[in-house]
Amino acid sequence: MARGTHVLSRRALNRALLARQLLLHRVKLSAAATIERLVGMQAQVPNLPYVGLWSRLQGFRHEELSNLIQTRRAVRASMHRCTIHLLTARDYLRLRPLFQPVLERGFETGSPFGRQITGVDRAALLAAGRALLDERPLTVSELGKLLGERWPDSPPEPLAYAVRYMAPLVFVPPRGTWGGRGLVRTTTAEAWLGCPVGPASSLDELVMRYLAAFGPATIADMQAWSGMTRARDVFERLRSRLRTFRDERGRELFDLPRAPRPGPDTPAPPRFLPDYDNILLAHADRTRILGPEKHLGMFDSNAVIKGSLLLDGFVRAIWIPIKGERSSKLLITPFDEPIQKQDRGPVVEEGLRLLTFLAPGEKHSVKFGAARSSVTPRPEPAAASARQPRDLSAASPAPPRRPSGSTASQRRA
Q: 324 Cβ partners below 8 Å, 6+ apart?
A: none
Predicted confidence at residue 295, as pLDDT, reads: 55
- Residue at 279 is within a domain: no
Q: Give the residue from 174, 5, 200, 145 showing the smallest Cα distance to 76.
A: 174
Q: How confident is the model at residue 381 (pLDDT cuts 50, 70, 90)?
A: very low
Q: Which of the listed residues 172, 193, 214 is the one where a domain comes to its end?
A: 193
Q: pLDDT tens digits, residue range 228-281?
A: 999 999 999 999 999 999 999 999 999 999 999 999 999 999 999 998 899 999
- Residue at 334 is within a domain: yes
The identity of residue 302, as a single letter, is N
- Residue at 2 is within a domain: no
Asked if 321 contacts 358 with a C-beta cutoff of 8 angstroms, the reply is: yes
Please indicate, yes or no, whether residues 47 and 189 belong to a single structural domain of this protein: yes
- Residue at 125 is within a domain: yes
Q: Which of the listed residues 193, 211, 233 is the one where a domain comes to its end?
A: 193
Please indicate, yes or no, whether residues 182 and 304 belong to a single structural domain of this protein: no
Please indicate, yes or no, whether residues 299 and 187 belong to a single structural domain of this protein: no
Measured distance CA(26)–CA(357) in Å, rounded: 15
Measured distance CA(185)–CA(167) in Å, rounded: 14
Q: Which of the listed residues 155, 172, 193 is the one where a domain comes to its end?
A: 193
Q: What's the half-sphere exposure (Cβ side, CA atoms, 13 Å) at 155?
A: 11
- Residue at 354 is within a domain: yes
Average the pLDDT over each of 158-167, 274-283, 288-297 and give the range with the smallest value. 288-297
Predicted confidence at residue 292, as pLDDT, reads: 64
Measured distance CA(67)–CA(65) in Å, rounded: 5
Please indicate, yes or no, whether residues 38 and 148 belong to a single structural domain of this protein: yes
Q: How confident is the model at residue 341 (pLDDT cuts 50, 70, 90)?
A: very high
Please indicate, yes or no, whether residues 184 and 324 belong to a single structural domain of this protein: no
The number of domains in the chain is: 2
- Residue at 142 is within a domain: yes
Instruction: Give the predicted TM-score (pTM) of the model.
Output: 0.89
Backbone angles phi, psi at 382, to 5 degrees: -70, -35
Please indicate, yes or no, whether residues 36 and 178 belong to a single structural domain of this protein: yes
Q: What is the DSSP letter of 137?
A: -
- Residue at 91 is within a domain: yes
Q: How confident is the model at residue 395 (pLDDT cuts 50, 70, 90)?
A: very low
Average the pLDDT over each of 46-50, 114-118, 146-150, 402-406 and give the range with the smallest value. 402-406
Q: Give the residue from 81, 88, 77, 25 showing the smallest Cα distance to 56.
A: 25
- Residue at 62 is within a domain: yes
Range of the domain at 155: 26-193
Sign of CA dihedral 51, 176, 107, 80: negative
Please indicate, yes or no, whether residues 76 and 184 belong to a single structural domain of this protein: yes
